[in-house]
Structure 1
Amino acid sequence: MKEYSTKDISNIVGIATPTVRKYAQALEKEGYIFIRNENGFRIFVDEDIEILQQMKQMSNESGMNIVHIASILINQRKQNLVDTIQNESEVTTSVKSEVKEAESLNIDRIDKKYDMLLKEVQELKQLVREQQAYIDERLEKRDQMITQSIRSLQEQRQALLEASTSKEKKGFFARLFSKRL
């Protein structure tokens, strides 16, 4: 199964990259599931190219909005799958296997998305732990500096207080005459 990026799809289908994203978002709203990589970007496969080409063709021919086209295509795919199962009773086993494969593919897509989200949550947890440790360390340093500053100020104040109380209070004349001696 070959994988394509949004830019690859833009070149293959012949539409702008933002249009590819709009088409994909409309399809996802209708329940279509795209494979995503570990960074959360869509990865397109051959099946996705087909539905995007159909969307482009319907948009050019009918002028309908993208959401309505996506709804029609998804319903057609569901109906085609149901019709195939009902009309071909002798091939029921192969149709069931196709349905299972489609379900398996959807399950695989969901599993990949789940794994990616789980990994992202774990990374975010680790980041939060690291940030909390950093914050705690910085707060501890700040508290130590504040405590040290307060102690230093108290020591200076005490020294000034002791210096001022150790001097006798002499009158003006006593101080004046004691300096001359």
Structure 2
Amino acid sequence: MITLIWNFPYRRWRSAMSEAEIVYTSNEVYGRLGVSSSTLRKYSDVLEREGYDVRKNSRGRREYTEFDVVLIEQLVELSKQDGMTLEKAAKMIAKQFGIANKKEESQDSDPVPYQMQYQFQQQYSAMIEEINKVQQANLLEMEKRIGDRVDRNNKLIEEDIKERNKLIMEDMKDRKEHEERIEKRLELRDDNLMKMVRE
């Protein structure tokens, strides 16, 4: 479980979360959220205006991580509260994550009520827990796949060892039978020689 540290530097957070990320396309994200592509673009734009970085591929198309998707969900939920707009919700998220806004903040921006900050902290805690669950599920699935592969490899190795042992035993048996045949021939030859000598 990740310990909550408010105003944790955003870029360090994204770097820490980037190792086992699953990347979604815009189509997958707006299908998951049940919104149109233009609405998803609006959500992304309002976050990016506050300095949040949604990565883009070589074609300039946005690629979303699980963290991005959950954060957009939180943005939407916050904006539904009384007196809260998308822009205010984005500012609140940027403030909590220590995201640097490239534009100068307005001097007369409305302060966020303490109760709303507390609600956001609760939602943030739930969001972190959800991300942890997703990552844990991914790790368990990966461990299962690796375990299955190891089991298959071990089984193949065991079968290979058994096959080689079988071939070795068959070879030893063939050699023994060959030696016995040679020994019998030698005995027969000796018997014949003895008979010839006696005659």
TM-score scaled by structure 1?
0.51
Alpha-carbon distance between aligned partners in 2 of 1:14 and 1:114, rounded to the nearest angstrom: 26
**1:125 is aligned to 2:143:** yes
Give me the identity figure in percent: 6
CA contact (8 A) 1:5 1:42 kept: yes
Q: Map of 1:1-181 to 2, 5 A cutoff? A: 5-6=29-30, 8=35, 10-12=37-39, 27=52, 36=66, 42-43=69-70, 44-45=72-73, 47=75, 50=86, 71-72=100-101, 76=105, 84=111, 95-168=113-186
Between stretches 158-167 and 108-117, larger displacement belongs to 158-167
Distance 1:125 1:74, change over 3 A: farther
Q: What's the offset of the Cα at 1:142?
A: 1.1
In structure 2, stretches of 5+ residues that fail to align are 1-27, 55-63, 80-85, 91-98, 193-199
> What secondary structure is seen at the aligned counterpart in 2 of 1:104?
helix
Alpha-carbon distance between aligned partners in 2 of 1:115 and 1:75, rounded to the nearest angstrom: 37
Q: Which has the higher helix share?
A: 1
CA contact (8 A) 1:35 1:42 kept: yes
What's the counterpart of residue 60 of structure 2? none
Structure with more contact order per residue of length (Cα contacts < 8 Å, sep ≥ 6)? 2
TM-score scaled by structure 2?
0.47
Q: What's the offset of the Cα at 1:100?
A: 0.8
Q: Which amino acid aligns with 2:135?
A: L
Q: Which amino acid aligns with 2:152?
A: Y
Distance 1:75 1:139, change over 3 A: farther
Distance 1:134 1:13, change over 3 A: closer
Q: Which amino acid aligns with 1:10?
A: S
Q: Which amino acid aligns with 1:116?
A: V
Number of residue pairs the alignment of both structures matches: 127
Q: Which amino acid aligns with 1:45?
A: E
Distance 1:105 1:119, change over 3 A: same
Q: What's the offset of the Cα at 1:76?
A: 4.3
Larger radius of gyration: 1
